[in-house]
């Protein structure tokens, strides 16, 4: 990163500052501090993966400072939606285009979690810039994190943790049950009771999980969320169906239901089991999970020319 900044024209280089995160939530703290100091006179870059993007988006929601993304992490899923392929594949090229940013407001997804008694859970309630999901995919992600934590020095386990976790979850099986109520973009309400499901994705962006594409037609500035609900499937059917889901080829397929939605509520039907989810790859839990789109909630800098 230092070499890239050093290659900038002198006037831009002298106006740039680099900060390194030192602990969890540090990116969020740094973004708030600099936004309060410089306001709309600065662009705050998330230089990392989707976790860094998540922190900075939560910091800059409803503020004047625009954010931008240099995809230097592992998944970089939000950047797949944000940038054309040539720029996504060469992330440091963003720095060559700093003189001509295009600032546009985009939407945020709000997730609020509640316990079995209906109490709000602030620690598991956040804004999401990209995608929130619940079910099998989050189960796999959580298991992969445990595998890496158990073998912190092993590159082999780090590189293969997701595959090992997926195999384990497919072998052991899963069953999730919920009620849901969804408000469509035209105001119509859809309500279903006692549904067995495999996973749910609530999408502002198009990609998550290292390239899975649950919502190939999603847009970050249309004021609507794309919700995909995958019905419960057998172990033998899961692999082929999830491959379609990964490639964005599942639209119109049996077992996949899509909604264009502005808000909704999901309720776990097991009083002893919270719904387990993630927003932008960060874990959350709740017996009841409410979501809502917040149109034009954050300023985003684009560098596409």
CA 281 to CA 51: how far, in whole Å? Answer: 7
Give residue 227's pLDDT.
98
What is the spatial distance between Cα 270 and Cα 108, in angstroms, rounded to a whole number? 29
CB distance 303 to 87 below 8 Å: yes
Indicate the domain borders of the chain.
Answer: 2-107, 109-132+172-293
**Domain 2-107 belongs to what topology?**
Rossmann fold (3.40.50)
Overall pTM > 0.75: yes
Residue range 177-210, pLDDT digits in tens: 999 999 999 999 999 999 999 899 999 999 988 7
What span, in angstroms and rounded, lies between the C-alpha atoms of 211 and 182? 26
3-state secondary structure string, 50-116? HHHHHHHHHHHCCCCCCEEEEECCCCCHHHHHHCCHHHHHCHHHHHHHCCCCEEEEEEEEEEEEECC
Phi, psi of 22, deg, nearest 5: -120, -10
CA dihedral sign, ordered 25, 30, 32, 35: negative
Exposed/middle/buried for 131, CB within 10 Å: 0-12, 13-18, 19+?
A: buried
> How far apart are alpha carbons 251 and 215 in whole angstroms?
9
Q: What is the chain's mean pLDDT, rounded? A: 88
Please state, in angstroms and rounded to a whole number, the distance separating the CA atoms of residues 274 and 226.
23
Question: In 10 A of CB 148, how many CB atoms?
Answer: 16
Question: pLDDT by residue (tens digit) across 76-114?
Answer: 889 999 888 888 777 777 777 777 789 999 999 999 999
Task: Record the tokens describing residue 59, joined without a space.
Answer: 């910091």
Percent of the chain with pLDDT over 90: 56
Q: Which residues of the chain have pLDDT under 70?
A: 1-9, 159, 162, 271-272, 304-305
Helix, strand counts (H, E) of the chain: 9, 12
Q: May I ask the CATH class of domain 109-132+172-293?
A: mainly beta
Rounded CA separation 81/61 (Å): 19
Q: At what angle do helices 26-38 and 50-60 cross, to 10 degrees?
A: 40
């Amino acid at each position: 990163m230092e070499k890239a900044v050093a290659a900038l024209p002198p006037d831009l280089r002298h106006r740039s500052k680099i900060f390194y995160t030192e602990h969890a939530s540090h990116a969020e703290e740094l973004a708030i501090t600099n936004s309060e100091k410089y306001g709309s006179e600065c662009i705050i870059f998330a230089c990392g993966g989707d976790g860094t993007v998540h922190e900075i988006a939560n910091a800059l929601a409803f503020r004047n400072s625009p954010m931008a993304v240099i995809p230097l992490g592992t998944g970089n899923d939000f950047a797949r939606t944000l940038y054309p392929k040539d720029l996504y594949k060469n992330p440091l090229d963003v720095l060559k285009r700093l003189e001509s940013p295009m600032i546009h407001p985009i939407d945020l997804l709000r997730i609020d979690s509640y316990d079995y008694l209906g109490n709000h859970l602030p620690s598991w309630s956040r804004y999401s810039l990209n995608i929130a999901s619940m079910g099998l995919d989050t189960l796999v992600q959580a298991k992969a994190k445990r595998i890496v934590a158990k073998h912190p020095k092993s590159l082999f386990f780090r590189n293969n943790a997701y595959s090992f976790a997926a195999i384990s979850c497919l072998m052991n099986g899963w069953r999730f049950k919920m009620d849901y109520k969804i408000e469509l973009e035209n105001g119509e309400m859809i309500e279903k009771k006692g549904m067995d499901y495999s996973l749910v994705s609530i999408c502002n962006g198009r990609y998550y999980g290292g390239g899975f594409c649950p919502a190939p037609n999603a847009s970050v500035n249309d004021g609507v969320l794309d919700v995909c609900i995958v019905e419960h499937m057998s172990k033998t059917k899961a692999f082929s169906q999830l491959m379609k889901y990964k490639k964005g080829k599942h639209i119109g397929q049996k077992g996949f239901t899509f909604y264009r939605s502005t808000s909704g509520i999901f309720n776990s039907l097991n009083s002893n089991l919270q719904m387990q989810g993630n927003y932008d790859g960060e874990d959350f839990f709740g017996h009841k999970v409410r979501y809502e789109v917040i149109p034009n909630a954050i300023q985003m800098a684009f560098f596409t020319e």
